[in-house]
C-alpha cells in the first residue's frame, strides 16, 4: 500500500511543481463544487417560498439561482482551464523526463527490454495517467466538496434524516465497492494481452516479406487470430466491468429514492417529520450519490494510473550501468594510442565472451580484426567505445583509462560504422548530418562523394532531400544503406575510426572507391576495421585474429601468411580447393 | 461522416444482427423504466404520504423497486451486448485486416509502409471498437429518451414546452459548436500523438547510433519539441471543453430558474401550475439534458471511428499487386526440376503514386540448370536482389518472362511456386521465439534429426549446441541477441529447411568468415545436389566454384561464364579478383 501511496504522491508532485496554478485551479474547482451543491439547496428554498406563497422570497431565490449558476459557470470554466494547463504540462514533463532518462541508460538495458515495451511506457502508461489527471482527479475532488457541503446542510436540517440517508448510502457504497474490486484485475490482464497483440503485429508486419517467402500466411493469420481473440476476451471483461459501474450507480440512486421514500414516507405518516423535509432530503441525497458513484468509477482509473505510474517510475529509477564517475573529466583530444590490458568481458555474467585480451595500437595505425563469426569482434568495439563496462583488465586511450572520463566526450571523438546499418526516417541529407550537427550541406555532400554514395543519391527522386521512409528499407539496396552509414561516419571527422563490417554488402570495386576516401580520412588516425573479406584488411598495420574470444594471432598480412597458422588457412580457403593451387603457383 | 462505412461495418455482424435488435429493445425498456420512476415517486408522495396511506406507499414503492430492477437488468444486459459487439467488431476487423496484409505483395507493402500498416491494425481498430461499444450502448437511447420526455411534457405540462424547446435548442447549438470547433482539435491531437510515437520509436531503435554520435541532446530537443506540440494540441480542446461542460449546466439551470420563476408565480397566484408541477418540470428538464449529453459522447467517437474505418477499409480493399494465376498450370512440386530461365526480362519499381519508375533491370537473360550453382556478382545497387526477387514473384516483370521448368512463374500457383523456390533474403529478419521455431519456421513439425542435419549444413548447429538451452534458447526480436554471422546462419538454415528445388542466397554469408562460408557451401552442395542454387555475393570466394557467374552492372548482365572463363575474358572480373585475392594468375595458369 505504501508503494501505491508513494506512486500517487510522486505523481501529484508533478502537478504541484506548478504550485501557484495548481492551488488556484484546486481552489476554483472547489468553489465550483460548492456552487454546484448550493444550487439544489436554493431550489429547495424556492419550493418552500412557493408553498408559503411568498412572492418576494421566490424572486430573491430566483435571483440567487441566476447568480450562483453564473458563478458556477465562471469558476468551473476557469478552474478546468487552469487545471488542464497544469496537468498537460505535468504530462509533458513526465514524457520528456522519461525519454531523457531512457536515453541515458546503457545498452544492456536495451538488450533486456524490447522496444515495443519501452514504447508503451511512454504512450499507454502515460495515457492512463492522463485519464487519471483529467477525469478521476477532478471527480474525486468535486465529490469530496459536494459531500461535505451537502452533509453539513443536511445536518443543519435534520440529524435523524441525515443518519437515515447515510445508512442507505453506506449499504450502497459497500455494494459498489465490491463490484469495483472485482473489476480491478481485468485491466492489468487486458494490458498484457494488448502488448502481446501489438508485439505480434509489429514483428510480423515488419517481417511480412519473410512470412510471404516461407508461405506461413495461413499459420500466421491463425496465430494472430488467436492472440486477437484473447485480447478481445480480456478487453470484453475489462470494458464490461468498467461500464457496469454506470447502471449500478444509476440503480443505486433509484434504490436510494425507493428506500428513502418508503421508510421516510412511513415515518412521515407516523407524524415524526414533515413531507417538505423528506422531499428536500431526497434531492440532497441524490447530490451525494451522484458524486460518490463518480468516485467509485474513478477507482479503476486510479488503479490503472497507479500501475502505469509504477512502471514509469521503475524506468525513471533505473540507473545506467555504465555511468560516468562523479567528477569525471572530459576526455582530452585523442591522439589514438589504444591499449587493451588483460581485458575480460561477458554480456551475461558467467558467460565469458572475451578472455584475457591485450594489444597496443599506436597513433595513426590501422588495426584489422578478423576471425570466425561470433568470435567477439563486435564485442571488442562495444567495450572500446564503452557501451559496456569490462569485468577485469583495463582499456586506456592515450594513457587515460576510458572508464575515468565522461563517456560522451570519448564517443564524440570516435566515428563508428556499425554492423547493422541503421538510418533514420528522414531525408538523406539529415541522415548524413546526424554525425555532426554543425556540418554544412557542402561538407555532407563532400563526404557522400568520398564514400562513393553521391552517384546513387543523385539518382533518387529528390537527390539529397529524398525522404527515407522506414529508414530506407523499402527503397535502397542493402549496400547503398551501408554506404550512407559510411558517408555519415565521414561527416563526423573523428580522431578514431571504427568500421565493423562496414563494406560487407558493398562490391569490391565500389569498396575500392570508398577505401580511397577512407584512406584520406584515416590519415594520422587510429582505425579499427573488422572484415570477413580479408582483402579489406590486408593493408592494415596489424591484424588481430580473434577466435573464441581470444586474440590468437597478430601481425601484418605478410607476417601472418608466413606463419602458416589460422590466418593463413582462412586466407587460403578463399581460393577453395582446386584453385588454391593455381594462386600458389602464381 | 460517411454512412457507407458504418453500413459496411454493420455487414460484419452478419448472422448476429439479432443481438443488435435485442439491444435496441433493451434500450427502449431502459428508457421507459427511467422515465416511469419519477412518475411513480410523485404518485407515492401524492397518494401515499400526503394522504397518509401506508399501503399506497408500499404499493408505489414496490412498483418503483420493480422498475428500478428491470431498468438495471436491461442496462446491464445491454452493456454486455455493447461490449460484445465492440470486441466482436474489433476482432473481426483486426483479423480480416491482418489476413489481408499477409496477402499483399512487396510492392503494396513498400507503398503502404509497414509502420503505417501497424497503426491501421492497432490504433484504428481500437478507435472503432470504442465507438462501437458506445454506439450500441447509447445511440438508440437518444431518440427514445428525447421522444419520451417530450411526450411526457406534452401530456402532463404542455405549458413548459416553450422553455423545454429553448433549452433543447441552446444545448443543441452547444453540441454543434463542440462538433465543429472542438472535434477537429482532437484530430490534431491524434496527429501529434503519432509524431511523438514516431520520434520515440526512431530514437529507441537507433539508440546505438544516437550514442555513437553523441546526439542525445539533439534527440532530446526533437522529442522535447514534439512533446511540447502534443501538450499544446492536448490543451487546446480541453480549454474549449472548459467552456462547454459548465455551459451545459448553466443552460440547464437557466431553464430551471425560468420554470421556478414562471411556474412559481403561477402557483402563488393560484392559476396554472401547482408546486408539484414545478418540481416535476425541473426533473423533466434534467431529462432533456440526457440525450444531448449522450450525443456529445457518441458523435465525436463516431466521427473519429469513421476516419479509422476509412483507413481500415483502404487496407481491406487493397488489391495485391501480384495476382494469382486464374488457371494455374499444374505443377508437381515433388517432381519439379528447378530449371530457371530469365528470358529478356526488364523490371522497374513502381513509385509511391503507383506509376512505373525508371527501369532497374533491363533485358536480363540467363539459364540456371538444375543442380547448378549460379553466382551473381555486381556493384551495389546494380539490381541483384531485385533480380532474384522476380523468381518467387515478389514483384512481376515489366517485360519478358521468368520460367521454371518452362512454365512462366505467373502461371504457377503461388503456393506451388513458393514451395519450389526458397529465398534467404539479404537482411535476415528473424522472429522472436526459440531457436527451434526459427530453424523450422517454414516447415513446422520437422523432426529434430532433420533439424540437426539442416542446421549443420548452415553451420549453425555447432554454436547452437554450445548455448546452455540449445534449440530451446530464446531468440529476441530480429535476433538481436546473436552476432551478425550467427543470425545469417540461422536464416540460411531456415531457408534450407524447406528443401527447395531452387535455393536463393542473397549475400547470405557476408557476415560469415570465409572458412565458415566454404563449409556452408560444401554442405549445401552435398545436401541438395539437385537443387538449383543462385548465390549473390560480394566475395569472389563465395562464387569461385560456381558453374556460372553473372556479372551485373546498372541492371544489366555484362558478362557471364565460369571462374576460369571470366578471369580470362572479363576485365571487371579480373579487377575484382585482383583486388580481393591479389594479382591475377597468368592466363595459361588459370586454364590448368
Ligand atoms: N547483446 C548481447 N547479449 C548477449 N550476448 C551477446 C550479445 N551480443 C553478442 N552476444 C554474443 O557474444 C558473442 C560474440 O559476439 P560478437 O557480436 O562480438 O561476434 P562477432 O565476432 O562480431 O561476430 P560476427 O562476425 O558474426 O559479427 C556471440 O556468441 C554472441 O552470441
Ligand atoms: N523497394 C524498392 N523500391 C524502389 N527502389 C528500389 C527498391 N529496392 C531497391 N531499389 C532500387 O533499385 C536498385 C537496385 O537495388 P537492389 O537491391 O536490387 O541492388 P543490389 O544489387 O541487390 O545491391 P546490394 O549489393 O547493395 O544489395 C537500387 O538503385 C535501389 O535503390
Ligand atoms: Mg560482429
Ligand atoms: Mg541486394
Taking all residues of chain A, what is their mean pLDDT, rounded to a whole number?
Answer: 81
pLDDT band at A583 (very low <50, low <70, confident <90, very high): very low
Give residue A272's pLDDT: 65
pLDDT band at A581 (very low <50, low <70, confident <90, very high): very low
Atom of ligand 2 at shortest range from CA of A479: 26
In this complex, the residue of B86, B260, B484 whose CB is nearest that of residue A373 is: B484
Q: How far apart are CA B40 and CA B30, in angstroms?
A: 15
Give residue A582's pLDDT: 37
Q: What percent of chain A has pLDDT over 90?
A: 3
Q: How far apart are CA B101 and CA B316, in angstroms?
A: 8
Average pLDDT over residues B172-177: 86
> Distance of CA A528 to CAs A274, A363, A417, A506, Å?
95, 12, 10, 18
Asked whether the predicted pLDDT for residue B590 surpasses 50, the reply is: no
Average pLDDT over residues B95-111: 84
Taking all residues of chain B, what is their mean pLDDT, rounded to a whole number?
Answer: 82
> Which tens digit of pLDDT belongs to each residue from B388-446?
888 888 888 888 888 888 888 888 888 888 888 888 888 777 777 788 888 788 777 77
Give residue B81's pLDDT: 92
Taking the CA of residue A2 and the nearest CA in chain B, the distance in Å comes to 31
Average pLDDT over residues B484-503: 84
Beta sheet of B373-378, edge-to-edge order: B421-424, B502-506, B532-536, B373-378, B548-553, B556-561
Average pLDDT over residues B177-204: 84
Asked whether the predicted pLDDT for residue B229 surpasses 90, the reply is: yes
Residues of B in contact with A279 (CB under 8 A): 45, 279
Average pLDDT over residues B317-342: 80
pTM above 0.90, yes or no: no
Residues A70, B94: C-beta atoms closer than 8 Å = no
Annotate A421-436 with b (16+ C-beta within 10 A) or e (fewer).
bbbbbbbbbebbbbbb
Residues B220, A504: C-beta atoms closer than 8 Å = no
Residues measured by CB to lie within 5 Å of ligand 3, the ion: A 378, 419; B 483-484
Tell me how many residue pairs between chain A and chain B have CB atoms under 8 A apart.
Answer: 494
Q: Where do the structural domains in chain A lie, given as residue ranges?
A: 3-316
> Which tens digit of pLDDT belongs to each residue from A147-195?
888 888 888 877 877 887 787 778 777 776 776 666 666 777 777 788 7
How many beta carbons lie within 10 A of that of residue A348, not counting itself? 10
Residues B538, A269: C-beta atoms closer than 8 Å = no
Average pLDDT over residues B360-388: 85
Looking at the complex, does the CB of residue A10 fall below 8 Å from at least one CB of chain B?
no
Asked whether the predicted pLDDT for residue B10 surpasses 80, the reply is: yes
Q: How far apart are CA B272 and CA B254, in angstroms?
A: 21
User: Best substitution site from B114, B381, B538 to test ligand 2's pocket, by max atoms within 8 Å of Cβ?
Assistant: B381
pLDDT band at B354 (very low <50, low <70, confident <90, very high): low
Question: Can you spell out the DSSP letters for A224-239?
Answer: HHHHHHHHHHHHHHHH
Q: How far apart are CA A403 and CA A400, in angstroms?
A: 9
How far apart are the CA of B485 and the centre of ligand 1, in A?
9
pLDDT band at B91 (very low <50, low <70, confident <90, very high): very high
Q: How far is CA A121 from the centre of its chain?
A: 4
Query: Scanning every residue of chain A, which has its alpha carbon at the shortest distance from the alpha carbon of B390?
Result: A213
Atom of ligand 1 at shortest range from CA of A379: 18
Taking the CA of residue B3 and the nearest CA in chain A, the distance in Å comes to 25
Give residue B591's pLDDT: 35
Average pLDDT over residues A475-480: 82
Place of cell 570477413: A532
Give residue A158's pLDDT: 79
Q: Are A221 and B99 in contact (CB under 8 A)?
A: yes
Give residue A361's pLDDT: 84
Strand partners, B378: B552
Q: Is the CB of B462 under 6 A from ligand 1?
A: no
Give residue A136's pLDDT: 73
Q: What percent of chain B has pLDDT over 70?
A: 96
Residues of A in contact with B382 (CB under 8 A): 507
Q: Under CATH, what is the fold of the domain A3-316?
A: ABC transporter transmembrane region fold (1.20.1560)
Give residue B592's pLDDT: 30
pLDDT band at B355 (very low <50, low <70, confident <90, very high): low
Range in A113-117, B245-249, B338-342 the model is least confident about = A113-117
Q: Are B546 and B562 in contact (CB under 8 A)?
A: yes
Taking the CA of residue B469 and the nearest CA in chain A, the distance in Å comes to 13
> Which tens digit of pLDDT belongs to each residue from B254-302?
888 888 888 888 878 877 777 667 777 777 888 887 888 788 778 878 8
Q: Are B378 and B553 in contact (CB under 8 A)?
A: yes
All residues at 6 or more sequence positions from B466 whose CB lies less than 8 Å from its CB, including other chains: none
> Which tens digit of pLDDT belongs to each residue from A328-372?
888 888 888 888 888 888 888 878 888 888 888 888 888 889 888
Comparing C-alpha atoms, which of B307, B83, B90, B303 is closest to residue B194?
B307
Asked whether the predicted pLDDT for residue A266 surpasses 60, the reply is: yes
Q: Which domains does chain B have, with CATH numbers?
A: 3-317 (1.20.1560.10), 338-581 (3.40.50.300)
pLDDT band at A584 (very low <50, low <70, confident <90, very high): very low
Q: What percent of chain B has pLDDT over 90?
A: 5
Strand partners, A346: A352
In this complex, the residue of A59, A373, A512 whose CB is nearest that of residue B513 is: A373
Average pLDDT over residues A291-300: 71
Amino acid at each position: 500500500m505504501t508503494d501505491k501511496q508513494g506512486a500517487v504522491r510522486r505523481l501529484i508532485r508533478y502537478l504541484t511543481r506548478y504550485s501557484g496554478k495548481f492551488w488556484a485551479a484546486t481552489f476554483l474547482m472547489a468553489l465550483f463544487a460548492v456552487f454546484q451543491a448550493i444550487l439544489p439547496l436554493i431550489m429547495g428554498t424556492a419550493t418552500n417560498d412557493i408553498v408559503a406563497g411568498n412572492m418576494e422570497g421566490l424572486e430573491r431565490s430566483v435571483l440567487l439561482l441566476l447568480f450562483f449558476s453564473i458563478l458556477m459557470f465562471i469558476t468551473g470554466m476557469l478552474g478546468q482551464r487552469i487545471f488542464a494547463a497544469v496537468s498537460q504540462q505535468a504530462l509533458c514533463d513526465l514524457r520528456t523526463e522519461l525519454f531523457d532518462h531512457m536515453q541515458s541508460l546503457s545498452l544492456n538495458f536495451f538488450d533486456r527490454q524490447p522496444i515495443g515495451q519501452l514504447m508503451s511506457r511512454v504512450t499507454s502508461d502515460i495515457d492512463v495517467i492522463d485519464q487519471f489527471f483529467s477525469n478521476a482527479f477532478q471527480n474525486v475532488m468535486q465529490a469530496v466538496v459536494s459531500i461535505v457541503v451537502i452533509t453539513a446542510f443536511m445536518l443543519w436540517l435534520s440529524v435523524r434524516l441525515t443518519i437515515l440517508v447515510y445508512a442507505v448510502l453506506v449499504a450502497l457504497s459497500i455494494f459498489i465497492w465490491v463490484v469495483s474490486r472485482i473489476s480491478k484485475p481485468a485491466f492489468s490482464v487486458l494490458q498484457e494481452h494488448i502488448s502481446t497483440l501489438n508485439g505480434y503485429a509489429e514483428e510480423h508486419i515488419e517481417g511480412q516479406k519473410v512470412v510471404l517467402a516461407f508461405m506461413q500466411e495461413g499459420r500466421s493469420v491463425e496465430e494472430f487470430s488467436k492472440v486477437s481473440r484473447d485480447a478481445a476476451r480480456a478487453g470484453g471483461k475489462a470494458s464490461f466491468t468498467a461500464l457496469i459501474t454506470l447502471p449500478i450507480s444509476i440503480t443505486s440512486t433509484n434504490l436510494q429514492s425507493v428506500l428513502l421514500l418508503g421508510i421516510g414516507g412511513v415515518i412521515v405518516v407516523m407524524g415524526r417529520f414533515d413531507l417538505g423535509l423528506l422531499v428536500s432530503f431526497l434531492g440532497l441525497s441524490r447530490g451525494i450519490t451522484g458524486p460518490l458513484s463518480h468516485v467509485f468509477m474513478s477507482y479503476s482509473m486510479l488503479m490503472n494510473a497507479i500501475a502505469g505510474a509504477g512502471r514509469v517510475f521503475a524506468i525513471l529509477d533505473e540507473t545506467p550501468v555504465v555511468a560516468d564517475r562523479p567528477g569525471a573529466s572530459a576526455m582530452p583530444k585523442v591522439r589514438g594510442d589504444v591499449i587493451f590490458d588483460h581485458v575480460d568481458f561477458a554480456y551475461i555474467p558467467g558467460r565469458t565472451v572475451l578472455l584475457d585480451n591485450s594489444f597496443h595500437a599506436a597513433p595513426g595505425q590501422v588495426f584489422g580484426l578478423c576471425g570466425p563469426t561470433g568470435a567477439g569482434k563486435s564485442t571488442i568495439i562495444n567495450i572500446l567505445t564503452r557501451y559496456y563496462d569490462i569485468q577485469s583488465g583495463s582499456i586506456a586511450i592515450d594513457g587515460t583509462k576510458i572508464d575515468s572520463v565522461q563517456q560522451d566526450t570519448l564517443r564524440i571523438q570516435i566515428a563508428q560504422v556499425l554492423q547493422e546499418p541503421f538510418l533514420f526516417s528522414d531525408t538523406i541529407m539529415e541522415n548524413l548530418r546526424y554525425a555532426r550537427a554543425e556540418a554544412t550541406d557542402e561538407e555532407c555532400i563532400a563526404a557522400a562523394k568520398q564514400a562513393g554514395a553521391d552517384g546513387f543519391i543523385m539518382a533518387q527522386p529528390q537527390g539529397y532531400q529524398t525522404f527515407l521512409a522506414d529508414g530506407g528499407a523499402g527503397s535502397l539496396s542493402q549496400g547503398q544503406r551501408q554506404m550512407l552509414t559510411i558517408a555519415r561516419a565521414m561527416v563526423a571527422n573523428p580522431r578514431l575510426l571504427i568500421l565493423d563490417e562496414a563494406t560487407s554488402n558493398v562490391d569490391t570495386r565500389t569498396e575500392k572507391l570508398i577505401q580511397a576516401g577512407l584512406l584520406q580520412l584515416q590519415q594520422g588516425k587510429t582505425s579499427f576495421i573488422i572484415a570477413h573479406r580479408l582483402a579489406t584488411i590486408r593493408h592494415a598495420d596489424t591484424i588481430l585474429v580473434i577466435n573464441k574470444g581470444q586474440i590468437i594471432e597478430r601481425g601484418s598480412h605478410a607476417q601472418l601468411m608466413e606463419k602458416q597458422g589460422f590466418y593463413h588457412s582462412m586466407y587460403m580457403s578463399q581460393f577453395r580447393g582446386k584453385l588454391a593451387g593455381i594462386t600458389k603457383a602464381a | 461522416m460517411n454512412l457507407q462505412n458504418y453500413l459496411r461495418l454493420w455487414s460484419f455482424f452478419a448472422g448476429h444482427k439479432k443481438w443488435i435488435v435485442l439491444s435496441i429493445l433493451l434500450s427502449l425498456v431502459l428508457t421507459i423504466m427511467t422515465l416511469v420512476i419519477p412518475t411513480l415517486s410523485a404518485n407515492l408522495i401524492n397518494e401515499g404520504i400526503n394522504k397518509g396511506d401506508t399501503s399506497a406507499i408500499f404499493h408505489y414503492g414496490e412498483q418503483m423497486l420493480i422498475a428500478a430492477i428491470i431498468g438495471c437488468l436491461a442496462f446491464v444486459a445491454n452493456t454486455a451486448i455493447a461490449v460484445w459487439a465492440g470486441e466482436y467488431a474489433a476482432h473481426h476487423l483486426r483479423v480480416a485486416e491482418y489476413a489481408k496484409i499477409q496477402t499483399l505483395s512487396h510492392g503494396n507493402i513498400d507503398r503502404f509502409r509497414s509502420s503505417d500498416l501497424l497503426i491501421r491494425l492497432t490504433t484504428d481498430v481500437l478507435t472503432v471498437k470504442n465507438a462501437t461499444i458506445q454506439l450500441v450502448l447509447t445511440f438508440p437511447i437518444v431518440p427514445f429518451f428525447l421522444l419520451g420526455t417530450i411526450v411526457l411534457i406534452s401530456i402532463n405540462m404542455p405549458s413548459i414546452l416553450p422553455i423545454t424547446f429553448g433549452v433543447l435548442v441552446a444545448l443543441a447549438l452547444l453540441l454543434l459548436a463542440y462538433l465543429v470547433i472542438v472535434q477537429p482539435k482532437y484530430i490534431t491531437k491524434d496527429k501529434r500523438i503519432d509524431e511523438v510515437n514516431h520520434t520515440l520509436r526512431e530514437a529507441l531503435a537507433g539508440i546505438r547510433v544516437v550514442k555513437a554520435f553523441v546526439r542525445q541532446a539533439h534527440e532530446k530537443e526533437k522529442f522535447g519539441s514534439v512533446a511540447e506540440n502534443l501538450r499544446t494540441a492536448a490543451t487546446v480542446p480541453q480549454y474549449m471543453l472548459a467552456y462547454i461542460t459548465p455551459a451545459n449546466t448553466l443552460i440547464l439551470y437557466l431553464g430551471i430558474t425560468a420554470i421556478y420563476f414562471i411556474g412559481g408565480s403561477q402557483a402563488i397566484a393560484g392559476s396554472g401550475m401547482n408546486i408539484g408541477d414545478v418540481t416535476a418540470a425541473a426533473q423533466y428538464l434534467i431529462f432533456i439534458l440526457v440525450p444531448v449529453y449522450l450525443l456529445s459522447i457518441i458523435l465525436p467517437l463516431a466521427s473519429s471511428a469513421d476516419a479509422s474505418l476509412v483507413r481500415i477499409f483502404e487496407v481491406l480493399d487493397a488489391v495485391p499487386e501480384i495476382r494469382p494465376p486464374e488457371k494455374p498450370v499444374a505443377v508437381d512440386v515433388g517432381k519439379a526440376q528447378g530449371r530457371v530461365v530469365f528470358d529478356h526480362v526488364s523490371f522497374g519499381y513502381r513509385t509511391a503514386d503507383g506509376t512505373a519508375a525508371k527501369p532497374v533491370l533491363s533485358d536480363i537473360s540467363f539459364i540456371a540448370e538444375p543442380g547448378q550453382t549460379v553466382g551473381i556478382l555486381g556493384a551495389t545497387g546494380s539490381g541483384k536482389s531485385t533480380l532474384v526477387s522476380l523468381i518467387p514473384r515478389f514483384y512481376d516483370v515489366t517485360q519478358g518472362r521468368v520460367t521454371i521448368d518452362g512454365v512462366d512463374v505467373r502461371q504457377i500457383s503461388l503456393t506451388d511456386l513458393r514451395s519450389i523456390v526458397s529465398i534467404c533474403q539479404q537482411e535476415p529478419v528473424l522472429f522472436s521465439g526459440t531457436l527451434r521455431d526459427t530453424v523450422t519456421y517454414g516447415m513446422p513439425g520437422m523432426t529434430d534429426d532433420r533439424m540437426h542435419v539442416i542446421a549443420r549444413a548452415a553451420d549453425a548447429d555447432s554454436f547452437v549446441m554450445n548455448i546452455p538451452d540449445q534449440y530451446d534458447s530464446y531468440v529476441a526480436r530480429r535476433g538481436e541477441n546473436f552476432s551478425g554471422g550467427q543470425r545469417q546462419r540461422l536464416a540460411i538454415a531456415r531457408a534450407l529447411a524447406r528443401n527447395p528445388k531452387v535455393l536463393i542466397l542473397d549475400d547470405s554469408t557476408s557476415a560469415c568468415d570465409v572458412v565458415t562460408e566454404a563449409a556452408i557451401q560444401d554442405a549445401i552442395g552435398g545436401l541438395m545436389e539437385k537443387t538449383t542454387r543462385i548465390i549473390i555475393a560480394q566475395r569472389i570466394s563465395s562464387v569461385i566454384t560456381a558453374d556460372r557467374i553473372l556479372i551485373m552492372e546498372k541492371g544489366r548482365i555484362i558478362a557471364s561464364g565460369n571462374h576460369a572463363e571470366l578471369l580470362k575474358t572479363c576485365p571487371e572480373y579480373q579487377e575484382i579478383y585482383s583486388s580481393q585475392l591479389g594479382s591475377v594468375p597468368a592466363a595459361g595458369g588459370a586454364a590448368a
